[in-house]
Amino acid sequence: MNIPFSGQIINMCAALLLLIAFAMLSQRRILSLINLFALQGLILAVSTSVVAYSSHQVHLYYSAALTLLLKAVALPLILHRLIRKLNVKWDVETLFNIPTTMLAGLALVVFAFNLAAPISQMAGTITKSTLGIAMASVLLSFLMMITRSKAVPQVVGFLAMENGLFFAATSATYGMPMVVELGIALDVLVGMLILGIFFFQIRTAFDSLDLEHMEKLKED
C-alpha cells in the first residue's frame, strides 16, 4: 500500500517524537532536557500542520500555531528563566540508573503498541498508524516523571506527557475542539506560573529543589 507524502511526513514526525521521548528519558542535563522539550513542541506543531493540510481540518491550523507558541517558545523560555533565577546548575538525578530506565521504557513501548493496535484498526484517520507511538510517548513521559527526584525535571515530564496526549488526540480523532485546547493551554500556562512560585518557596525553605526534603517534612 502506497503511503501519501503527507502520511510519510506524519510518520517521520511520530518517529522523531518517540526518539525525543527516549532522549529525554536518558537525559542528565537540565538545559538539554528543556531544549528537547522545545524541539518536541516544534515537531508536534509541524505534525499538526501536516494533518490539517491533508485532512482539511482548519481548526488544526490554530492548534498547530498554539502548540508552536506555547510548547516550543513560551514554556521553554519560562523554564529557562526559572532555572536562571533559581541558579540551578545540577544535573538531572534519577532514582534508577539509565540502562534500567531505558529497559523499562522499551517494555512500555511494546505495551503501548499492543494496547493501541485494536484502537488503530477502528480509527478512520490518516494518522491512525501513529497512535501506538503517541501512547508510548505518554508512558515514557510518565516514566520520566516518576524516576526523577528533582522538581523541575518532573514538571518537564508532565508537560511532555501533555504533548503525548495531544498527539494521541490528533492521531485518533483529528484533535480536540478548539475551546478545549484553549482551556488546556491556559491551564498549563497558569500552572507553570504557580509552579514557578512553588519552586522559589521550596528553594527558600530547603535551599534545594530535591523533593526528598518535602517527604522528610511530611514524615516529621
**In-domain check, residue 147:** yes
Boundaries of domain holding 36: 5-192
* Highest mean predicted confidence (pLDDT) among 30-34, 108-112, 183-187, 205-209: 108-112
Give CA–CA dist 148/176, Å, rounded: 30
Show the cell assigned to 172: 485518533
**In-domain check, residue 198:** no
From 147, 141, 154, select the one nearest 192 (Cα to Cα). 154
**In-domain check, residue 96:** yes
Provide the domain count of the chain.
Answer: 1
> Looking at the predicted structure, is the pLDDT value of residue 20 above 90?
yes
∠90-77-164 over CA atoms, to 5°? 85
**In-domain check, residue 214:** no
* Highest mean predicted confidence (pLDDT) among 52-61, 105-114, 200-209: 105-114
pLDDT tens-place string over residues 151-170 = 778 788 888 888 888 888 77
**In-domain check, residue 113:** yes
From 4, 7, 78, select the one nearest 41 (Cα to Cα). 78
* Single-letter residue type at 111: F
Banded pLDDT at 107 (limits 50, 70, 90): very high
**In-domain check, residue 119:** yes
Give CA–CA dist 190/194, Å, rounded: 6
pLDDT tens-place string over residues 66-97 = 889 888 998 888 888 878 877 765 566 677 78
> Looking at the predicted structure, is the pLDDT value of residue 129 above 80?
no
pTM of the model: 0.78
Q: What's the confidence (pLDDT) of residue 7? A: 77
Mean pLDDT, rounded, for 37-52 = 90
**In-domain check, residue 213:** no
Q: What's the confidence (pLDDT) of residue 118? A: 78
**In-domain check, residue 102:** yes
Q: What's the confidence (pLDDT) of residue 31? A: 86
